[in-house]
Amino acid sequence: MMNHLPKVSLRVMFISLALLILLKSACGADVSDSFIYPMSPYAEVHRYYEEWADVFGKYHAAQDLWGRGGDPVYAVANGVVSYSYGEGGEWAMYGYVITIDHELPDGSGVYSLYGHLSTRRWKKSEGDVVQKGDIIGYVGDDDEDGSLTQWGPHLHFGIRTGKKSDYYDFLVGYYSDYPALHGWIDPGDFIGSNLGNDEFSDLTGQYNSLMQKCRINRGGTKCKITGTLSIQNMGTLKAHSSFVRFYLSTDNLCDEGADTFLKQKATGTVRAWKNKTKKLSYSFQETVSGMYVVALIDADNTVVESNEKNNCIVFGPIP
């Protein structure tokens, strides 16, 4: 005999399927229901609408965000890469450029623009489907970002209503009149108004153990510390692989300039609410009793986090 599902169960299944379909955009990417910032830290050096009369005498249609050559740049939301090229001609001053089309829950859309990217390093290609927080490229060095070298490495970041294909002048960074008249919106304000409640990773950690063993032989004293560090992601997005750096310190503070570097390890991808264990082993020619071992998680600052102040994990003093 065939078992029939209750009508209410079928209704729930159909409604759930319809909701899943609605959350997919026409171009195959998930709908952009929340946004994040494209760099960490988000350090603005040239504002949207700011007038630089001494340079161009026009209004800036984007934000310039300070960075270092090689810093990662993240997709601010789900979408599809609609442009990914490093061209000459009128776009030469922007270096390598990527745009991403995003569909919003109400069916409208915006596209995000990322200029002065690295041409030498890996980057996303046109047509790629991206998720919020994916690395799409890296900030370019002075000799590849198209900015005539004197501006320093930075990201030219803009957001515009509609799709990239709606405009011929999809890459113009300066206007003689207000950029809003051409569809550009303040990217910082837009993202700040569309941050979700669960869009960040949050890496921290704790030492599970750490001990020192010393022995004396004809060559003198030799000591070795061994231990394990548990790296935890307290956020709700997975954290892409970064690095944890271990230092020997005279105090319980993080100071990369003053502390003695021991070693560096890749963290690997850490999923939300999961942890990864990393082993530490290091030998010394003398005892390090009374010293501290400092672990700096996400030492290369590649993970966008909700809390950047809990990455320093200290053990000590060493017995």
What CATH number corresponds to the domain at position 176?
Answer: 2.70.70.10
**Is pLDDT larger for residue 69 or for residue 279?**
279
Same domain for 65 and 183: yes
Of 193, 222, 242, which marks where a domain is finished?
A: 193
Say what the pTM is. Answer: 0.59
Instruction: Give per-residue pLDDT as tens, 165-197.
Output: 999 888 777 788 888 889 999 998 898 888 765
Residue 101 structural domain: 25-193
Q: What residue ranges in 162-305 does DSSP mark as E strands?
A: 174-175, 184-185, 203-217, 220-233, 243-249, 260-266, 275-284, 292-297
- pLDDT > 90? residue 201: no
Percent share of the chain, pLDDT over 70: 81
Q: Percent of the chain scored above 90 by pLDDT?
A: 40
Residue 242 confidence (pLDDT)? 93
Q: What are phi and psi of 253, to 5 degrees?
A: -115, 150
pLDDT of residue 47: 66
Q: Is 186 a domain residue?
A: yes
Distance of alpha carbon 165 from alpha carbon 158, whole angstroms: 15
Regarding whether 186 and 294 lie in a shared domain, the answer is no
- Asked if residue 187 and residue 207 are part of one domain, the reply reads no
Q: Tokens representing 307?
A: 């809390």
pLDDT of residue 31: 92
- Is residue 3 situated within a structural domain? no
**How confident is the model over 225-253, as pLDDT tens digits?**
999 998 988 777 889 899 999 999 999 88
For residue 68, pLDDT over 70 is answered with yes
Measured over the CA atoms of residue 296, residue 231, residue 36 and residue 164, the dihedral's sign is positive
Q: How many domains does the chain have?
A: 2
Task: Judge if 33 and 140 occupy the same domain.
Answer: yes
Instruction: Give the pLDDT of residue 55.
Output: 53
Distances (CA, A) of 40 to 6, 63, 188, 200: 50, 15, 13, 11
